[in-house]
Amino acid sequence: MYNLGDIVLMKKPHACGENNWEIIRIGADFKIKCLKCGHIVMMSRADFEKKVKSIKTKAVDVKESTENYVKFEK
Ligand SMILES: [Zn+2]
């Protein structure tokens, strides 16, 4: 299951050397953005699932950890 804002690792790194991509669009087509150079790639969902290696950071996890951090600060 993928969500907008998830950071994913692809099987092949981008030409710029970076291998962290942010999911910026989900639908019949997926759009991912290279976190280093900002290059955007669009591909079909089937293609994306073939090329993705793993989810590095779930957008949901980021939100939860931020909330925990805020609570801790208080
Ligand atoms: Zn790149």
Tell me, in angstroms, the distance from the centre of ligand 1 to residue 33's CA. 8
For the whole model, what pTM was predicted? 0.79
Residue 74 reports pLDDT greater than 60: no
Q: Which two tokens stand for residue 36?
A: 């280093």
- pLDDT for 23: 96
Tell me, in angstroms, the distance from the centre of ligand 1 to residue 34's CA. 5
- 5-55 pLDDT, tens digit per residue, is 999 999 999 999 999 999 999 999 999 999 999 999 999 999 999 999 999
Tell me, in angstroms, the distance from the centre of ligand 1 to residue 8's CA. 13
Tell me, in angstroms, the distance from the centre of ligand 1 to residue 17's CA. 6
